[in-house]
Amino acid sequence: MTAERIDGRLRAKELDSRVTEGVSAFSEKVGRVPGLAAVLVGTDAASQIYVRNKVKRTKSVGMLSFEHVLPETTTESDLLSLVDDLNADPRVDGILVQLPLPGQIRAERVTSAVSPEKDVDGFHIVNVGAVASGVGGLVPCTPLGCLILAAPFFGGDFAGVESVVVGRSNIVGRPMANLLLARRATVTVVHSATRDVASHVRGADLVVVAAGSAGLVRGDWVGEGAVVIDVGINRLADGKVVGDVNFEEVSGVARALTPVPGGVGPMTIGCLLLNTLTAALRREGLGDPDIGLGI
């Protein structure tokens, strides 16, 4: 068996196209376009590239983009003041504060200061609780992207799907498990303290890996015909970027597998834009977007 390579770039283009249509419909109905504010503190090269890509994609789907680049020496109080201003700005539907932040700024203070209704990263405790309870909320972008990538292989119906999430982070692992539970999947979360991780993974129909360990998941860990979503991004000593899954080995047994790069990454920004559209619609009392994601 040779696994189908799940093209995250292609799926992200499809998602952007649907968001663009949603933005157009929103504009016709409301008389304005959604706006996303991106805040970058400092000069971290990776963060600069990531924010630049987000701004470009935001404009490409017809949304307003508000970019705020602050110096490395920015104080926590100054950043919180900016967040307050963005919370009050009627043009802004979504607020993204790029992480990591400089050491003098506590990330949890900043994420708690963003209005839950504009928290398009899904990090505010109100949204975390809503997602965990299965009652809505804005969903963290990466887990949402994983769900969209996996959905076609299960006909959009995760009911009863044996699912294993490798990793328990607040950004990916926990919300991923909650999203699957909300769709009636049978979910196991494994992590660094789990005994015999491989035995858990081997019985899964769907495996989502977000452990931050290059090549952790080997071919003999994965059951034949499983769908594997690799969230990991690891840079090796030679500069090569790889995931948490040994791609060559797992592609020999899995039904489908995301590459790194080119898998989950592009979907994360796509879901950020989807969340911004969702936030704009909810602010106007128009419900959630109906753009046929199959989830």
Cβ(54)–Cβ(96) below 8 Å: yes
In DSSP notation, 216-273 reads: -B-GGGSPTT-EEEE---EE-TTS-EE-SB-HHHHTTT-SEE--SSSSHHHHHHHHHH
Task: Identify whether 157 is a catalytic site residue.
Answer: no
- Neighbour count for residue 17 (Cβ, 10 Å): 13
Q: What are phi and psi of 48, to 5 degrees?
A: -60, -45
Task: Identify whether 121 is a catalytic site residue.
Answer: yes
Cβ(289)–Cβ(39) below 8 Å: no
Q: Which of 98, 118, 119, 244 is catalytic?
A: 98
Task: Identify whether 54 is a catalytic site residue.
Answer: yes
User: How far is it, in rounded angstroms, from Cα 11 to Cα 51?
Assistant: 20
Q: What are phi and psi of 207, to 5 degrees?
A: -125, 125
Q: Which of 16, 54, 93, 205 is catalytic?
A: 54
Cβ(231)–Cβ(146) below 8 Å: yes
Q: Which of 16, 93, 119, 121 is catalytic?
A: 121
Instruction: Indicate which residues carry an active-site annotation.
Output: 54, 98, 121
